[in-house]
């Protein structure tokens, strides 16, 4: 076993799961598993949709690398189970995970802390048919974004350009989630910025600028085509990247995130004001994923990133005699 892999013990890479992002999670998890094994880590695949989490304890796993995305993996549920089992895990804890998965709750915290985010209206699944569409358009303008409040990977996201398109967009978003987020559309540069670490020690990685075909950075363009351009260095005006990194760090810290995360940002083309859209607390680790891309630009290989994240695994509430890092 290599020096990097020493003292890490038997590791479960949690992948797959039951969310709408299962397919992406399997790709992320396989990449992480291969990287850890290549570094000499005693790592094994573990799909919570096929095995009971209690088997982690029974099989002697000492750490978990969470490569799950979306519900039942990125929302605090698995984190809570691992806290009860006493098995250290990568990424944010229960509270930060459960807030961050909910885009509306995230916005409420950010707004309270002075972090800029687009204006929004929350619509409940059982209320959207009675929605006053004229009032909604008057508040948010057109185009607007309609999306599930707790999904990722651009699943169920629609750009609505006319009031006539609203019912169909709301219906499809409601099929994905009980809460629907209607959000002001920000026209301009789309960027994302990963963060590694915790608290005052957290560091923002290089910003990536995303240039998608016709500005449509959807599920297909995220994972299954090569048509989207990812620019790193991002080519933003002097000082703008540093300002975004500082804002992203603040957004990450006020939610209590740790380990790693990635914040998606839109920069208003007219004012150059950045608006934070959402934060991912278990970002993708596929061949198309952005955290490994940004890390490479900072001189961190994919394998080194995986080991670094694994070494940061911990518990929020370590019991005496527990195995928290």
Residues taking part in catalysis: 21, 153, 223, 262, 264, 278, 280, 284
**Rounded to an integer, what distance in angstroms lies between the CA atom of residue 277 and that of residue 116?**
9
**Nearest by Cα to 9 from 89, 94, 92, 68:** 89
List, in sequence order, every residue forming a beta bridge with 314; answer none if it has no partner: 89
With 0-12 CB in 10 A as exposed, 13-18 as middle and 19+ as buried, what is 5?
Answer: buried
**Nearest by Cα to 149 from 118, 107, 187, 109:** 107
First-last CA distance in the chain: 19
Q: 44: left (phi > 0), else alpha (psi -120 to 50), else beta?
A: beta
**Nearest by Cα to 312 from 11, 37, 39, 91:** 91
What is each CA distance from 238 to 153, 182, 197, 234, in whole angstroms?
Answer: 30, 33, 25, 11
The DSSP bridge pattern shows strands 10-14 and 63-66 to be parallel
With 0-12 CB in 10 A as exposed, 13-18 as middle and 19+ as buried, what is 297?
Answer: middle
**Rounded to an integer, what distance in angstroms lies between the CA atom of residue 107 and that of residue 114?**
10
């Amino acid at each position: 076993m290599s020096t990097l892999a020493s003292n890490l013990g038997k590791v479960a890479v949690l992948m797959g799961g039951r969310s709408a992002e299962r397919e992406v999670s399997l790709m992320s998890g396989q990449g992480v598993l291969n990287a850890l094994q290549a570094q000499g880590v005693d790592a094994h695949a573990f799909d919570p949709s096929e095995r009971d989490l209690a088997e982690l304890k029974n099989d002697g796993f000492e750490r978990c690398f969470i490569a799950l995305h979306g519900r039942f993996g990125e929302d605090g549920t698995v984190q809570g189970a691992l806290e009860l089992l006493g098995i250290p895990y990568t990424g944010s804890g229960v509270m930060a995970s459960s807030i961050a998965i909910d885009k509306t709750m995230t916005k409420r915290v950010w707004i309270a802390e002075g972090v800029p985010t687009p204006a929004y209206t929350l619509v409940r699944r059982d209320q959207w048919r009675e929605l006053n569409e004229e009032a909604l358009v008057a508040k948010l303008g057109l185009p607007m974004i309609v999306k599930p409040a707790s999904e990722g990977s651009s699943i169920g996201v629609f750009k609505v350009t006319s009031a006539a398109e609203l019912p169909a967009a709301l219906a499809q978003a409601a099929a994905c989630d009980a809460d629907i987020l209607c959000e002001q559309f920000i026209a301009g540069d789309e960027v994302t910025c990963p963060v590694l670490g915790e608290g005052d020690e957290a560091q923002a990685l290089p910003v990536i600028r995303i240039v998608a075909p016709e500005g449509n950075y959807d599920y297909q363009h995220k994972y299954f085509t090569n048509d989207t351009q990812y620019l790193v260095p991002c080519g933003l005006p002097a000082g703008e990247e540093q300002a975004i990194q500082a804002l992203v760090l603040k957004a990450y810290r006020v939610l209590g995130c740790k380990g790693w995360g990635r914040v998606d940002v839109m920069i208003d083309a007219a004012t150059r004001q950045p608006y934070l859209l959402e934060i991912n607390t278990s970002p993708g680790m596929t061949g198309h994923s952005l955290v490994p891309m940004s890390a490479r630009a900072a001189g961190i290989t994919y394998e080194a990133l995986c080991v670094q994240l694994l070494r940061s695994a911990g518990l929020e509430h370590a019991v005496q005699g527990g195995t928290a890092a």
